[in-house]
Amino acid sequence: MTFNPDIIQGSELTNKKICTLFGCSLFGGMNRSLKTNTLVLVTNRIKCLYQDRIDEDIIHYTGMGQKGNQDLNDAQNKTLNESITNGVGVHLFEVIEQGKYIYVGKVQLAGKAYEENQLDTEGNDRLVWMFPLQLSDSSRFVPVELDKVKNLDADRARTASKLSPEELLRKAKQARKIPGSRQATVKQYQRNEYVAEEAKRRANGICQLCLLPAPFTNKNKKPYLEVHHIVWLARVGNDSLENTVALCPNCHRKMHVLDDDTDKKALTSLYG
């Protein structure tokens, strides 16, 4: 009898919940459960030796084995490779935030496993097995929230910045030249066009943070400034004149990258 967990795609589960539901231990990326006849896969995007990647509706999943060349006929590599015929249900979870496992869904092989080069735990080149997987019903993966993807990218960038020059160069040379892609969702706020236009006009072509002229003019020959909410709309800020300023692109980016309290106070004081 096929085991079908009562989970909605995109749901976030804990390690403990997954273990209880599937009757397995969750120690690595590939976790076999004889109790439910399933193989629970985890692709950890935060910190992981393996270079899993998503290309639209296919995830290229790295097999088991952290040191030396991987063996296609070893342990759960064999289970996954034969999953079309052995009756084992394969379920995939994705980690993009620490301790949160997003249920991607029940998956199946989308093609034959293939080999590619990756680094092992000792930093040596080795061959790993990659398994192309797709959702069993051939539907699309549930999009992830764009903010979560941005936070993940920032975390991975910080990790890369801490590598030694030698290790960084080695990983950069080994990187896949064609990037993967993944659908993401973003909440779009409908801003009041009158508030935005008034903010630009009262700035009169001068960035309200650095107090320098706009760096260029737009196609209509007007100084180019970008509207910014001092308290972000995503943080329940008001779309009001008192919370809206016009900034040059550089300062606008600075506000979103640094989110500096001193800068926020300076902008708030303009209309305080």
Q: Where are the domains of the chain?
A: 12-185, 193-271
Residue 272's pLDDT is 66
The superfamily (CATH) of domain 12-185 is SRA-YDG (2.30.280.10)
> Is pTM beyond 0.85 here?
no
Q: What is the rounded CA–CA span in Å between residue 139 and residue 91?
A: 14
Q: Radius of gyration of the chain from Cα atoms? A: 24
* Residues of the chain with confidence (pLDDT) below 50: none
8 Å CB contact between 129 and 101: no
Determine the pLDDT at residue 57. Answer: 86
The pLDDT of residue 130 is 96
Instruction: Give the tens place of pLDDT for each residue, 107-149.
Output: 999 999 999 998 888 888 899 999 999 999 888 888 888 888 8
- C-alpha 145: how far from chain center: 8
Q: What is the pLDDT of residue 178?
A: 67
What's the chain's length in residues?
Answer: 272
CATH number belonging to domain 193-271: 3.40.1800
> H/E element holding 171?
helix 165-174
Q: DSSP letter at 182?
A: -
At 189 the pLDDT is 78
The residue behind tokens 């290309």 is: 55
pLDDT at residue 119 in the model: 85
Would the CATH topology of 12-185 be identical to that of 193-271? no
